[in-house]
Structure 1
């Protein structure tokens, strides 16, 4: 059980405060009900928090980051909620296979998760020369501060997204 309230749901759209006084947007695409979330994040960075959800540019193919993260920023209202995608259909927001790589190894793990529990379901082992490692989001639980730092870096002018 999480120490924090679950005050969000599937389809919740929110803003992530960046380290440069701007914001990125994200969506809760999966959740385990105990504080772990899978979601997508988008730029461009925003100077102000929007007063409503604009779904027009929330497309998976334009996401700058996807992955499993802690719901603490949402639960503690540090990440303002904008509203929800309506209607929210899980099939419109698929959970991709995630990837684990080790810097000093040729070994690569492709990890599938249960759509409802976010528990590891399947792991396929392969090597770097047999898979495009950039085609998969990274596996691992991201803390809210880490998400803020990565999004700030990805959305800074001059960085490629």
Structure 2
């Protein structure tokens, strides 16, 4: 059987998902025709059976790709910061790092102290950050670099690992 890089399988799955949407649209479009009363409807475009057959094949290929991608993501590992982890864990870690970066950037963009509100009675209130915004900006920058490094490792592994899938129907 033909093999393809895992990265190509991931991209192909996205393409096939879009293909399903296109086939469903074609199915709906070809399901009805407008004719005058007493006229015999004529097939315009492909028959519903043809479209259904294509739809079934594409959906089967998506399921197959899912299985192969999930298996490859569990069986293959990446080393990051001295820790070896399956690709699936590395993907989740990269997602978590990006979420942490977003939080830290928000904190880092805050002011240490700013006027909160005025009561109108000569009392001025301040909103005071209970942390050092500069420290969180620096942490966000560092974590963002780590997230990029991890993403690069994942991408490289996705081209290194191959899965058994015949993509000749699509490429």
TM range (shorter): under 0.3
TM-score normalised to the size of structure 1? 0.21
Name whichever structure is richer in strand by fraction: 1
TM-score (norm 2): 0.20
